[in-house]
């Protein structure tokens, strides 16, 4: 059953007997005062829970990085200085002069 009683629908039957049986059944349903779907107001829908946005702390409360050095470029001359260059980069091949 719809909770909106302003909606109207129509039925079409091939026989008068089938139409009469349907009408009798509808009459039984709407005449019963215990039919809670007819007398109750529309169902209240629960509002969807929206995720609250995460509030980030202000920059003044975040400490500066400790012993941080910003590296903008790396060359082969920096190999002794950085472990990752020693471990993951092969040393350059020196060619012999003829």
The lowest-confidence range among 1-5, 32-36, 88-92 is 1-5
Q: Are 48 and 41 in contact (CB under 8 A)?
A: no
Question: Per residue in 85-96, pLDDT tens?
Answer: 888 888 777 777
Exposed (0-12), middle (13-18) or buried (19+): which is 8, by Cβ within 10 Å? exposed
Question: Hey, where are the domains in the chain?
Answer: 60-88
Q: Can you give the pLDDT at residue 16? A: 92
Q: Is the pLDDT of residue 51 over 90?
A: no
Quickly state the pLDDT bin for 3 (edges 50, 70, 90).
low
Per-residue tokens: 70 = 């910003």
């Amino acid at each position: 059953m719809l909770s909106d009683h302003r909606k109207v629908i129509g039925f079409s039957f091939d026989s008068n007997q089938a139409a009469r049986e349907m009408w009798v059944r509808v009459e039984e349903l709407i005449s019963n005062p215990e039919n809670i779907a007819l007398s109750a107001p529309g169902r209240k829908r629960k509002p969807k829970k929206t995720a609250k946005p995460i509030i980030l702390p202000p920059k003044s409360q975040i400490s500066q990085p400790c012993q941080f050095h910003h590296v903008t470029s790396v060359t082969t001359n920096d190999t002794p200085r950085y472990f990752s260059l020693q471990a993951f980069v092969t040393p350059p091949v020196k060619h012999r002069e003829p």
